[in-house]
């Protein structure tokens, strides 16, 4: 899980998150009280920020912040394969 992506998600969730150190385990609906429109806004914001597209069917499996960050990271990595070569 990318710390940059996690920080970006935490920033976007700042008005939803309770005071906790471990935001990654929080569930969007149950713990953060986000409805489906809130979640779509979060997804669109991250897709625009990273210039990626996450298919809806993949998002249905996302339950926690950690799930979402991992999903975003996968798409960022696959959309920019040249980045991995910089660190090899």
Residues tagged active-site: 35
Nearest C-alpha neighbor of 28 from the set 63, 66, 4: 63
What is the rounded distance in angstroms from the CA atom of residue 75 to the CA atom of residue 70?
Answer: 9
> Under DSSP, is residue 60 helix (H, G, I), strand (E, B) or coil?
coil
> Under DSSP, is residue 30 helix (H, G, I), strand (E, B) or coil?
coil
> Under DSSP, is residue 21 helix (H, G, I), strand (E, B) or coil?
coil
């Amino acid at each position: 899980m990318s710390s940059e992506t996690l920080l970006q998600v935490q920033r976007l969730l700042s008005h939803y998150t309770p005071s906790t150190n471990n935001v990654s385990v929080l569930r969007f609906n149950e713990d953060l009280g986000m409805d489906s429109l809130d979640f779509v806004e979060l997804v669109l914001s991250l897709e625009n920020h990273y210039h990626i597209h996450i298919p809806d069917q993949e998002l249905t499996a996302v339950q926690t912040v950690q799930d979402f960050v991992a999903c975003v990271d996968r798409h960022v990595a696959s959309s920019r394969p040249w980045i991995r070569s910089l660190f090899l």
